Amino acid sequence: MKKYITIIGLGLIGGSLGLALKREDQDIHITGFDRSYATADKAYRRGIIDTVAASAKSACEGADFIIFATPVNTTVSLLEEASDWDLKKDVIISDTGSTKSPIMEAAKCLIEKGFTFIGGHPMAGSHKSGVTAAKGHLFENAYYILTPIGDESEERIRTLSNLLVPTKGKIVVLDALEHDRMTAIVSHFPHLVASSLVGRLADQESSQPFVKKLAAGGFRDLTRIASADPTMWRDITIQNRLELLEQLDGWLQEMNHVREMIINNDPEQIFDFFNDAKKFRDELPSTYEGAIQGALYMTFDLHIDIPDHPGVISEITKILAEEEISLTNIRIVETRTDVYGILVISFQTAEDRKAARFALSKATDYSMHIL
């Protein structure tokens, strides 16, 4: 039986979801809507959707599945509007937002009318945005979190999970509050810290102009996530503010302990501080070793020790091109006291990085280290 699916929002996530659902031989018809007709038209021309709808309302009426792939604030508004739409009684509605509590709260009006709403959050992203960056494999090996209400039937959860199988994401069911707490710890709060570290550097640049050049090494890598879309992170901070405040309180307490440690100047205590952090960090799952992609979007870097002679970078990129391995960035590191290698090549997936490492190991004598 043909499944009628509606995707509202046809950017990177919505577009990638449409491509993923079409990868397997499913009898599906995807209707799409985006506030930008140009975006919707591109999605249609790329085969991401089968029909362009004139409005979100018309796109959703008659659908078996509805997925809102819009920013959280937009999704909240649409869910409130959708309670007055003429939806199929057995429709399953979901979303892709990175904070679940406000969305689950907004969905209550639908749930009270007997509709099924199961929150969703595919933990995958890209350094690019928009429908032109959409890829069918974007969600592969990434956690795809579902947040149903407490008494949702297992059958309905299973039905949505089965629909999402072609994404090749790892489906995990969590409570919405639990989801927001954990993403605050491993994603939202680290963005605040990274942005704060960049702010500290910016404040001191006028008195120490050369510090910006020294930051091109490990500091740049450490604060990479501070380059994320400020509009999106403004919204996430507002939406998950209570969890972030709890994390900040704990962070301030931890920093006070660190300050006391430095005042005490006890070599053993200082060693234990760094050693304990090193041991715990080294035990974290590594995407290079095949672990599932976590909450933070990341690039996968290959650090390469290479001799400084003309043409060496073109040699390396030629090898990668011959193996049809795509890279997202390439740069030479000048400050190398805390990173490995002179050349850093970034890839979008762990598989691409692994393939690149193997190809370069075969073709060159370069010594490579994975950060």
Integer Cα distance of 283 and 286 in angstroms? 8
| pLDDT higher than threshold 90 for residue 65 | yes
**pLDDT tens-digit map of 67-102:** 999 999 999 999 999 999 999 999 999 999 999 999
The per-residue pLDDT for 367 is 47
The per-residue pLDDT for 336 is 44
Quickly state the pLDDT bin for 370 (edges 50, 70, 90).
very low
The per-residue pLDDT for 307 is 64
φ and ψ of 23, to 5 deg: -70, -35
Q: What is the phi-psi region of residue 71: left when phi exceeds 0, alpha when psi lies from -120 to 50, beta otherwise?
A: beta
Quickly state the pLDDT bin for 173 (edges 50, 70, 90).
very high
**pLDDT tens-digit map of 196-243:** 999 988 988 888 888 887 777 678 778 888 888 888 889 899 999 999
| pLDDT higher than threshold 60 for residue 136 | yes
Contact 35, 100 (CB under 8 A): no
| pLDDT higher than threshold 80 for residue 335 | no
The per-residue pLDDT for 129 is 78
Enumerate domains of the chain plus CATH numbers.
3-174 (3.40.50.720), 179-288 (1.10.3660.10), 299-369 (3.30.70.260)
Integer Cα distance of 300 and 327 in angstroms? 9
Amino acid at 117: F
| pLDDT higher than threshold 90 for residue 304 | no
The per-residue pLDDT for 360 is 83
Contact 24, 53 (CB under 8 A): no
Integer Cα distance of 186 and 260 in angstroms? 26
**Section 140-164 average pLDDT:** 93
Quickly state the pLDDT bin for 344 (edges 50, 70, 90).
confident
| pLDDT higher than threshold 90 for residue 160 | yes
Integer Cα distance of 150 and 157 in angstroms? 11
| pLDDT higher than threshold 90 for residue 359 | no
The per-residue pLDDT for 232 is 83
**Section 269-274 average pLDDT:** 96
DSSP 163-180: HTGGGT-EEEE--HHHHH
The per-residue pLDDT for 288 is 45
pTM: 0.75
